[in-house]
Amino acid sequence: MAEVIAMLEEFRGIAPLTAEAAAARFLAHGWTPGGKTRDGVETSWDKGSVGGWIRTFDGGAVSVSFFVWIRDVDESGYFDDLDAVYEQGEQVLADFLPEIEESRLAGHLIEAEQTEADRDEFIRLKKWTLDGRFLTAGVIQHDTDLPVMVMVVLSADERQWLCRGPGLTAVPGSRRHAADPRGLRYAHLSASGQ
């Protein structure tokens, strides 16, 4: 997970954070382009078992996301024991949080209040502000037939990690976890591949 911490340290020093600047930092740190471009900028990056991507929002705001752990669905197309997979993700998150909190970022992190939207989207999470931006680390699954992931998101706006907006849609009736009273999942349907 050191790759993610190194990139977060790099991005902390970029103001304003642009897609071009983020892509240049990924390349400079030896990440491999994933072949997905938007407006001429590579948006998907890989290094070892970690994936990263850059997303640009209306108005030019940029978020950078990483998946540090991923567990794909079973052969059935779903998870045979979803609760066990959530527990695995929660353990990976618990093991990863000290790496963030004890890194060189520590003196700049201020724990942030979790919103209802945070709790609706993430199975488990921790959120901070980092020099005026939001840093969220959590376990997430966008739909029951999609992987469970541990993600880290750095964004200028606390809502930018939400999987909602143009090209995104709510999928009613999906089972998330017992704490989700609405039973909604947000699936990414963007043709851009973002």
Question: Contact, 137 vs 150, CB < 8 A?
Answer: yes
Q: Would the pTM of this model clear 0.85, i.e. be above it?
A: no
Rounded to whole angstroms, how far apart are CA atoms 187 and 164? 8
Of all residues in the chain, what percent carry a pLDDT higher than 90?
Answer: 62
Quickly state the pLDDT bin for 42 (edges 50, 70, 90). Answer: very high
Residue range 76-95: average pLDDT? 90
What digits encode the pLDDT tens for the residues 157-173?
A: 766 555 433 333 333 33
pLDDT at 70 over 90: yes
- The confidence score (pLDDT) of residue 177 equals 34
How big is the chain by its Cα radius of gyration, in Å? 16
Q: What is the pLDDT of residue 158?
A: 62
Listed as own residue / partner, the contacts of 25-30 with beta carbons closer than 8 Å and 24 or more positions apart are 26/52, 26/54, 29/3
Tell me if 146 sits within 8 A of 67, measured CB to CB.
Answer: no
What confidence tier does 38 reach under pLDDT thresholds 50, 70, 90? very high
Could you say which DSSP state residue 114 is in?
P
Q: Is the dihedral of CA 104, 106, 112, 117 positive or negative?
A: positive
Q: Which residue has the tokens 């520590």?
A: 106
pLDDT bracket for residue 76 (50, 70, 90): confident
